[in-house]
Amino acid sequence: MRYELDIYGVLVPALLLWLIVAYALSVIVSRIMQRFGLYRLVWHRALFNFALYVCLLGVVVYLSEFLP
């Protein structure tokens, strides 16, 4: 995994990009869950959303190792 990405001459930490990608994915999953009423099965919505975000961040970071 590269620790810095060069975007038009600006060095950006790779983790910042993975955080943004994970946040976008968590928003999409959250909206899908809200649309189908799956949040009624969740005890604490904020805690669940945080746990979902952390899990998605782990998946994104793990999958980033396979990028060229």
DSSP H or E stretch at residue 62: helix 45-64
Q: Could you give the angle at the alpha carbon of 39 between the alpha carbons of 16 and 61, nearest 5°? A: 20
Distance in angstroms (rounded) separating the CA atoms of residues 32 and 11: 34
Does the pLDDT value for residue 19 go beyond 90? Answer: yes
Does the pLDDT value for residue 30 go beyond 90? Answer: yes
Determine the pLDDT at residue 4.
82
- Helix, strand or coil, per DSSP, at residue 7: strand
Number of other residues whose CB lies within 10 A of the CB of residue 9 = 5
- pTM of the shown model: 0.83
